[in-house]
């Protein structure tokens, strides 16, 4: 009957340590961070919607609002002038 000898045990632990080294190397190559370890609270991060790319013709909200207000004032003045 085969029984585990000291050489078998050394071989198994050697393979485990080699696997650990390979795994560590791969993690370094990909700069991998475990998602749970990466969060400050130790829980997986909540799903976040991917950011939509800002288009080239994007106008900030403040500018859009100012332009809309100016247009509304212009329409109001035209209505008042039409009444008179």
The residues spanned by each domain of the chain are 6-44+57-83
The residue ranking higher by pLDDT, 28 or 22, is: 22
Report how far residue 69's alpha carbon sits from residue 61's, in angstroms, rounded to the nearest whole number: 12
- pTM as predicted: 0.33
Report how far residue 73's alpha carbon sits from residue 66's, in angstroms, rounded to the nearest whole number: 11
Q: How confident is the model at residue 69 (pLDDT cuts 50, 70, 90)?
A: very high
Q: How confident is the model at residue 78 (pLDDT cuts 50, 70, 90)?
A: very high
What is residue 67's predicted lDDT score, i.e. its pLDDT?
95
Highest mean pLDDT among 11-15, 30-34, 55-59: 55-59
Cα-Cα end-to-end distance for the chain: 113
φ and ψ at residue 30, rounded to 5 degrees? -95, 5
> What's the token pair of residue 15?
């393979």
């Amino acid at each position: 009957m085969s029984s585990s000898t000291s050489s078998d045990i050394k071989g198994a632990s050697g393979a485990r340590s080699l696997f650990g080294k390979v795994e560590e190397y791969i993690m370094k190559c990909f700069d991998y961070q475990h998602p749970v370890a990466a969060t400050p609270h130790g829980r997986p991060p909540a799903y976040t919607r991917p950011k939509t790319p800002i288009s080239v013709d994007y106008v900030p909200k403040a500018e859009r609002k100012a332009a809309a207000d100016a247009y509304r004032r212009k329409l109001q003045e035209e209505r008042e002038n039409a009444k008179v």
